[in-house]
Amino acid sequence: MSNKKTRLVVIGNGMAGIRTIEELLKMSPDEYEITVFGAEPQPNYNRILLSPILSGEMKFQDTVLNDWSWYEENNITLHAGKTVTKIDRQRCVVETEDGVSVPYDRLLIATGSNPIMLPVPGIDLPGVLAYRSIDDVEKMLAAARDKTKPKKRAVVIGGGLLGLEAANGLSLQGMEVSVVHLCDWPMERQLDQVGGGLLKRELEKRGLKFYLSRQTEAILGDDIGGEHRITGLRFKDGEEIPADLVIMAAGIRPNIELAKSAGIHCERGIVVNDTMQTYDPKVYSVGECVQHRKQTYGLVAPLFEQAKVAANHLAEYGRMRYEGSSVSTKLKVTGIDLFSAGDFNPGPEDEELLLQDAARGVYKKLVLRDNKLRGAVMYGDTVDGPWYFQMLRDGTDITEMREHILFGQAHLGDSGRGGAASVANMPDSTEVCGCNGVCKGTIVKTILDKKLFTLEEVRAHTKASSSCGSCTGLVESILANTVGGDYSTKQSKKAMCPCTELTHEEVREAIAKQKLKSMPELMATLSWKTQDGCHSCRPALNYYLLSAWPGVYQDDNRSRFINERVHANIQKDGTYSVVPRIWGGVTSPSELRSIADIAEKYKVPTVKITGGQRIDLLGVTKEDLPGMWGDLVNAGFVSGRAYGKSLRTVKTCVGSEWCRFGTQDSTGLGIKVEKMTWGSWTPHKFKIAVSGCPRNCAEATIQDFGVGCVESGYEIHVGGNGGIKVRVTDFLCKVATEEEVLEYCGAFMQLYREEAHYLDRTAPWIERVGLAYVKQRVVEDAAGRADLYARFLESQKYSQDDPWKERAEGKDAHEYAALAEIA
Amino acid sequence: MNTVAAYGNTPFVDEIRAYVIRPYESEMGKMNWTQIGNLEDIPRQGSRVVNTAKGEIALFRSVDDQVFALDNRCPHKGGPLSQGIVHGKRVTCPLHSWVISLESGEAVAPDVGCAHRHEVRVAHGVLFLEVKA
Ligand code: SRM
Ligand SMILES: Cc1cc2nc3c(=O)[nH]c(=O)nc-3n(C[C@H](O)[C@H](O)[C@H](O)COP(=O)(O)OP(=O)(O)OC[C@H]3O[C@@H](n4cnc5c(N)ncnc54)[C@H](O)[C@@H]3O)c2cc1C
Ligand code: SF4
Ligand code: FES
């Protein structure tokens, strides 16, 4: 290499620092010459898994995240076991205690934090340990296995997350363990009093002893057999208890001494801005040592977010900002299910929802403000933890599910997944992902073997929850249970796909504001990281451009999934299905006759009545498609778009024309609606139904848009979903005339088209934005509704060309014919 | 030997019926190169299929006009790779979204499997495929 590379020095060989390097290498593998200093003699390991090592469930080797060879392969110089004692910012050099000095162009400080050692007499005695590193754990294990002492008693000072995990581990190693805690209940930062009480009782059952509301005054020692040893502990109130080992788990403090001594601005932590830069522009910092917007963090998930942002700036992409994280917690004690997130101590303007079932040992508390979740505490049954956490972060309006929310997602009609038992107690053989046949045991094993942290990684390696997604919550719970904490990548800001850091909203906004009208232009302007996107962003971008610039943007069929590209549904054997549109489900003998003739002509193996009131011709070869379409078009049919993210069917019932109960012409209205809406592209498929009376034979209440006819008019329902997770529609409003039904339908569809994320059906979209919002835009704001409707009709002008007709006439002919035959 | 130019951008399906071409020994060395069409016959970021006695071969054209050839069978469950979305030098299988490298035919990690690749050459806009006997 001719040019000298930029030199990056990292202080801290721990989880946040190395994660930053991993992210950096992904983006810009050759930009830096990297040197890492680590005070610990080991390579980077997963600190979170110290607890399973202590409890004997894992070995150290299993927790190594980057082994020695990783550093070598990536040309990283690692100084393991070397503590940096000086940063010379004038000369841009770091120095270690034993005289190694390395110059830098960029510096990354990731020194983590230090355990707080209470300043009480006796703190220096051998046998007083912190709980932070593998070294600490090895000492604890040695003490527990010490054969020279008959009775081995450990006292853990601090009843927080770390203290309890230490206590549980030592107890499993056969020690007699007591926990001393300042507050009235353990884990007061994660649990309220009731939850804390339940936890305490469970841990007592397992043999732990609690000394609550106690303050340690001194650690007592004596000379025993020529050795100075711990003998016990004295509280402020004078009581003394015996001890052979004392673990300090009274909290952590950001490790900022080094940064401070170099004159870098620190408060509680090293102060950084949204790009993870310190007050010295050459110096970045990530991890527990950092203070960002007054906040410090002690869990991995936010640190990994920070790592991503820091790497983005080190790689000079300069696009991402860290805006803080909300965190959730999970205690890693096997068999105890506990989850907490957000702010769970209700203030005066908050409401509280409670569920307590002593017999099942279940306790749940949700804290709400303005019908949005602010915090959650759960004990005993935590399957829904990730679900609540997701809604908390998304700011989901929960008005509509308020009555059932405490019972969990399963009670909102999650068919097939109801009553999912506690994840921890679930046997390994339980099938978690029905689509891909993945069992719990496989997921746990893969998480541990492959050292996974995020839902995305679990999806990639196991395929669990990568298809229909209905088991996502369960997979997240298993992940949380296996590694602790919540690592889902659905963070406050969720990038569209790995090709960009921008969210769906940001991309849609940029398309409108910066008038981006083609995909190459969009990718160039928004600094796409890949040459031409991927299978996940391209279809989304194509849709966004299409919906933003009707009549202007040229649909890019190379960015469509196969079904939409060839206008037919691909089947498992590579053949296709053909579903002609049957308006409102009404057909005629002559139509049926032509379908029958065409089916025979092309030797269609299966003719089936679909669940959507039309006819499916299955098993057609690709080469036959254009010919068959030509025949269908000649017989008066258009494509049913059974393949598209677009209007699918409009189901109707017989209605007033025949039915003795019918109140309106539901069939006729359905056909009118279908004639207006067919051909429209939508973020996901869109289904409509019109029922002639409240008996609702067309199942209007599980459609994206449903109309229920009554004597006095038409009741409009929106946001229903059959399928994977059944959701009944929300009642939107009632109108008097068919014209109004058409207007509300067009306006609602347009709002959905303009604002939902690609691949969001109306149900999850409405759950996210809230029914109140949709009502405001479509019902209350009459002028706004008229505008939406007008925009819908305008864009329909360009989308009601029948794709089958065009293709039967030769468009995209190359899609349907082989390039050559070679004998 | 049919001339390849005949089927450039012909509009009607019936006229696009594939040509039967016999392999011939080319001057490009000892390999068995068969002329199969023009670069322009494959859309950018798209794919076309060549039927051979041993099965279908998918030809892909990347956004920067490189051409690759793989068996038209996904190593997962045999999905037709030619129907996938082409991005960079990769194609995503239309059935269950495995991502396959066009250069090597290998599935991109974490999936494991390989779609056999074939040699293909573009000379003056004309495509040649090596078909093994
Ligand atoms: C053909 C049909 C089954 C049948 O034989 O009856 C069918 C077939 C497929 N459905 Fe369906 N669905 C069919 C009615 C339904 C219905 C019932 C309805 O529309 O009233 C539902 C539940 C209602 C709903 O959508 O809320 C339904 C819920 C799904 C879902 C789950 C959607 C969800 O949001 O949960 C999927 C998966 C997806 O879209 O991602 C799906 C996906 C599919 C796909 C496209 C799967 C695929 O990608 O290959 C199937 C295509 C087969 C093909 O080539 O035709 N299909 N599917 C029905 C076609 C109706 C039509 O005339 O267009
Ligand atoms: C027992 C235990 C259990 C935990 N459980 C969970 C959990 O379930 N979920 C969760 O989200 N989080 C958990 N955590 C917290 C999580 O491990 C930390 O948040 C995370 O490791 C912090 O990463 P970091 O890079 O900031 O610090 P660290 O991982 O501590 O890395 C900092 C590194 O810098 C080195 N260093 C410091 N100063 C210097 C210097 N001057 N020179 C050279 N090297 C230096 C240190 O030796 C250390 O290796 C747990 C922590 C512990 C101790
Ligand atoms: S038709 Fe629908 S329900 Fe049936 S197998 Fe296919 S996707 Fe599943
Ligand atoms: S057949 Fe290709 S991904 Fe399944």
Complex ipTM, two decimals? Answer: 0.69
CA distances from A471 to A411, A435, A638 (A): 15, 9, 37
The answer to whether residue A566 neighbours chain B at the CB level (below 8 Å) is yes
Whether A532 and B88 lie within 8 Å, measured CB to CB: yes
In a domain, B130, yes or no: no
pLDDT in tens, A650-681: 999 999 999 999 999 999 999 999 999 999 99
**Which candidate, A122, A180, A174, places its Cα nearest to that of A143?**
A174
The three-state (H, E, C) secondary structure of A658-727, written as one string: CCCCCCCCHHHHHHHHHHHHCCCECCCCEEEEEECCCCCCCCHHHCCEEEEEECCEEEEEECCECCCCCE
**In terms of domains, do A554 and A574 share one?**
no
- Range with the lowest mean pLDDT among A113-127, A415-429, A615-629? A415-429
Q: What is the spatial distance between Cα A8 and Cα A103, in angstroms, rounded to a whole number? A: 9
Which residues, 6 or more positions from A292, have their beta carbon under 8 angstroms from its beta carbon? Answer: A269, A271, A272, A273, A274, A276, A306, A322, A324
Judged by DSSP in three states, B85 sits in strand
Whether residues A532 and B99 touch (CB distance < 8 A) is answered with no
| Residue with CA at minimum distance from ligand 2 atom 3 | A48
Chain A interface includes B21 (CB < 8 A):
yes
Distance between the two ends of chain B, CA-based, in angstroms?
Answer: 19
Residue A793 has pLDDT above 50, yes or no: yes
CB contact under 8 Å between A821 and B83, yes or no, is no
User: Could you write out the DSSP letters of every residue in A781-797?
Assistant: -HHHHHHHHHHHHHHHH
Cβ-contact B89, B62 below 8 angstroms:
yes
Is the residue at B57 inside a domain? yes
- At A387-419, the pLDDT tens digits run 788 788 878 888 878 888 888 776 554 433 333
Listed range (A274-283, A385-394, A484-493) with the worst mean pLDDT: A484-493
Would residue B70 count as lying in a domain? yes
> Coil, strand or helix: which one is A594?
helix
Whether residue B86 and residue A820 make contact (CB cut-off 8 A), yes or no, is no
If one counts the domains in chain B, the total is 1
Which of A443-447, A515-519, A776-780 has the lowest average pLDDT? A443-447
Is residue A381 domain-shared with residue A457, that is, in the same domain?
yes
Q: For residue A412, what pLDDT is reported? A: 55
Contact B110 A533 (CB under 8 A): no
- Residue A356 pLDDT grade (very low, low, confident, very high; cuts 50, 70, 90): confident
Instruction: In whole angstroms, give the CA distance from residue B32 to residue B40.
Output: 22
Strand A290-292 to strand A270-272: parallel, antiparallel, or no bridges (unpaired)? parallel
- The answer to whether residue A122 scores a pLDDT higher than 60 is yes
**Lowest model confidence (mean pLDDT) among A12-21, A423-432, A494-503, A539-548:** A423-432
Q: Which residues of A touch B95 (CB under 8 A)?
A: 570, 572
d(CA A367, CA A767): 18
B69 is a domain residue? yes
CA proximity to A479, closest of A224, A301, A631: A301
Residues of B in contact with A539 (CB under 8 A): 85
Nearest CA owner, ligand 2 atom 31: A14
Answer yes or no: do A273 and A381 share one domain.
no
pLDDT for B30 equals 58
In what order do the strands lie in the sheet containing A576-578?
A569-570, A576-578, A615-620, A606-609
Amino acid type, A34: I
Ligand 4 centre distance from Cα of residue A616 (Å): 24
B90 pocket-lining for ligand 4 (C-beta < 6 Å)? no
Q: Give chain B's radius of gyration (CA, Å).
A: 15
How many independent structural domains does chain A possess? 6
Q: pLDDT exceeding 90 applies to what percent of chain A?
A: 61
CATH of the domain at A402: 3.30.390.30
A669 & A779 share domain? yes
Which atom of ligand 1 sits closest to the CA of residue A684? 39
Token pair recorded at residue A6: 């930029």
pLDDT band at B5 (very low <50, low <70, confident <90, very high): very low
Cα–Cα nearest to A168, from A141, A201, A208: A208
Residue A467 — very low, low, confident or very high, per pLDDT cuts 50/70/90?
low
- What's the pLDDT at A2? 46
Q: How far apart are CA A816 and CA A802, in angstroms?
A: 17
Domain at B87, CATH number: 2.102.10.10
Centre of ligand 3 to C-alpha A723, Å, is 10
Pocket test for ligand 2, best of A15, A44, A46, A47 (most atoms within 8 A of CB): A47
Nearest-CA neighbor of A772 among A700, A718, A701? A718
d(CA A371, CA A589): 54
Could you tell me the distance, in angstroms and rounded to a whole number, from the CA of residue A23 to the centre of ligand 2? 18
- pLDDT of residue A252 exceeding 80: yes
Average pLDDT over residues A10-34: 94
Measured CA to CA in angstroms, residue A226 lies from A222, A301, A610 at distances of 10, 47, 87
Report the separation in Å between the CA atom of A463 and the middle of ligand 1, taken as the mean of its atom positions.
Answer: 21
Domain end point (choices A314, A336, A355): A314
Query: Nearest ligand to the C-alpha of residue A328?
Result: 2
Residue B67 maps to a domain? yes
In b/e form, how buried is each residue of A475-509, taking b as 16+ CB within 10 angstroms? bbbbbbbbbbbbbbebbebebbbebbbbebeebbe
Give the nearest ligand 4 atom to B79 CA: 1
Looking at all shown ligands, the one closest to residue B70's CA atom is: 4
Task: Please tell me which residue, A329 or A235, carries the higher pLDDT value.
Answer: A235
Q: Is B126 on the interface with A (CB under 8 A)?
A: no
Q: Is A190 left (phi over 0), alpha (psi -120 to 50) or beta?
A: alpha
Angle between helices A161-172 and A193-205 (to 10 degrees): 10
Q: What is the pLDDT of residue A170?
A: 94
- What pLDDT was estimated at residue B9? 36
Q: Which of A185-189, A370-374, A456-460 has the lowest mean pLDDT?
A: A456-460
Q: What's the whole-number mean pLDDT along residues A624-645?
A: 93
User: In the beta sheet, which residues pair with residue B85?
Assistant: B92
Same domain, A579 and A544: no
Percent of chain A with pLDDT over 70: 95
Task: Decide if B132 is inside a domain.
Answer: no
Give residues 27 to 46 of B whose Cβ lies within 8 Å of A: 34, 36-37, 41-46
Mean pLDDT of the residues in chain A: 89
CA distances from A678 to A27, A559, A674, A714, A723 (A): 43, 21, 6, 21, 21
Q: Which two tokens stand for residue A518?
A: 């083609």
Q: Which one of B23, B44, B97 has the shortest CB-CB distance to A822?
A: B23
Closest Cα to residue A166, out of A256, A70, A55? A55
State the residue range of the domain holding A653. Answer: 647-796
Residue B79 touches chain A, beta carbons under 8 Å:
yes
Q: Same domain, yes or no, for A364 and A478?
A: yes
Residue B4 amino acid letter: V
**Residue range A696-708: average pLDDT?**
96
Answer whether residue B16 shows pLDDT above 70: no
Boundary (domain end) residue, out of A587, A611, A634: A634
- Separation of alpha carbons B83 and A571, rounded Å: 12
Q: Does A816 touch chain B (CB under 8 A)?
A: yes
| Interatomic CA distance for residues A258 and A256, integer angstroms | 6
CA dist A343 and A350 (Å) reads: 11
* Residue A111, both tokens: 């020194």
Write the pLDDT tens digit of every residue in A436-447: 778 888 898 888
Same domain as A652, residue A705? yes
Quote the tokens at residue A249: 């788990």
In a domain, A36, yes or no: yes
Give the torsion through C-alpha atoms of A98, A100, A103, A106, to 10 deg. -60
Integer angstrom CA distances of residue A99 from A14, A91, A95: 22, 16, 6
Lowest mean pLDDT among A136-145, A213-222, A545-554, A561-570: A561-570
Let me know whether A27 and A15 are in one domain.
Answer: yes
**Minimum CA–CA partner of A815 in chain B:** B48
My answer on whether A136 and A246 are in the same domain is yes
A174, exposed or middle or buried, with CB in 10 Å at 0-12, 13-18, 19+?
exposed
HSE, side-chain direction, 13 A CA sphere, residue A130: 15
- Parent domain of B48: 3-8+39-125
- pLDDT tens for each residue of B37-79: 999 999 999 999 999 988 999 999 999 999 999 999 999 989 9
Q: Does B84 touch chain A (CB under 8 A)?
A: yes
Q: Is A544 left (phi over 0), alpha (psi -120 to 50) or beta?
A: alpha
Which phi and psi angles does A622 have, rounded to 5°?
A: -60, -40
A40-56 residue pLDDT tens: 999 999 898 898 899 88
Which CATH number covers residue A651?
Answer: 3.30.413.10
Q: What is the pLDDT of residues A551-606, one digit of tens each?
A: 899 999 899 998 888 889 988 888 899 999 999 999 999 999 999 999 999 999 99
> What gap in Å lies between CA A599 and CA A592, rounded to an integer?
10
Q: What's the mean pLDDT in A629-643?
A: 93
Output the pLDDT for position A224.
78
What pLDDT band is residue B31 in, cutting at 50, 70 and 90?
low
Task: Report yes or no on A348 lying in a domain.
Answer: yes
Query: Which pTM does this prediction carry?
Result: 0.62
CB A529 within 8 A of CB A27: yes
Distance CA A101, CA A7 (A): 13
Distance A430 CA to ligand 4 centre (A): 25
Residue A98 binned pLDDT confidence (cut-offs 50, 70, 90): very high
As beta bridge partners, residue A77 has A35
Q: Which ligand is nearest to the CA of A705?
A: 1
Q: Which of B11, B13, B49 sits opposite A819 (nearest CB)?
A: B49
Supply the pLDDT for residue A3. 62
3-state secondary structure of B33: strand
Q: Report the C-alpha gap between A140 and A21 in whole angstroms.
A: 32
> Which ligand has its closest atom nearest to the C-alpha of A619?
1
User: Do A779 and A657 share a structural domain?
Assistant: yes
Cα distances (Å, whole numbers) of residue B44 to A471, A533, A792, B50, B127: 37, 14, 32, 17, 14
> What residues flank ligand 2, with Cβ below 6 Å?
A 11-17, 37-40, 47-48, 50-51, 83-84, 110-112, 131-132, 162, 165, 255, 258, 287-288, 298-301, 303, 332, 484-485
Rg of chain A in Å (alpha carbons): 31
The residue type found at A245 is: L
Taking residues A101-117, report their average pLDDT: 96
Question: Any idea what the CATH number is for the domain that residue A179 is in?
Answer: 3.50.50.60
Kindly state whether residues A335 and A460 are assigned to the same domain: yes
Q: Look at residue B93 in the predicted model and tell me its pLDDT.
A: 93
Same domain? A574 vs A458 = no
